[in-house]
Each structure stands twice: as C-alpha cells, then as structure tokens.
Amino acid sequence: MWPAIATVFIIIALYLGTYLLNRRTPQPVDAAPSSEACESCMNYSCGFKQRMEED
C-alpha cells in the first residue's frame, strides 16, 4: 500500500514540476502556432483551443 501511495505522489510531483517549468518558459517570439491548423481539430481540451476561443 505505502509504495503505491509514495510512487503516485512522486510521479504527480514530477508532472507538476515539469508542467510548471514548461508553463513558465516563455514562448519564442512570433512563433505562436497558426490558428489555421487548429481549425479542423475537435479537441476542446487542448490549451491552444481554449486560448483561441477566449480571444
């Protein structure tokens, strides 16, 4: 039981760490992906899709 809980927490920490690191790394200037490519995609959970719909 304890190894399972420990492993899950370690992996969650790893994911959170990489996620935050990636989020805080700025996007290269004028390298934002074109909205044209996203148009036909149906994946509403994608971060880009949400950002585009907010705009």
Residues that bind other proteins (CB under 8 A): 3-4, 7-8, 11-12, 14-23, 25-29, 31-33, 37-48, 50
CB 38 within 8 A of CB 48: yes
Cβ at position 40, least distance to other proteins in Å: 4
Token pair listed for 25: 């790394």
Cβ at position 55, least distance to other proteins in Å: 15
Rounded CA separation 55/38 (Å): 14
Rg of the chain over CA atoms, in angstroms?
16
Cβ at position 20, least distance to other proteins in Å: 7
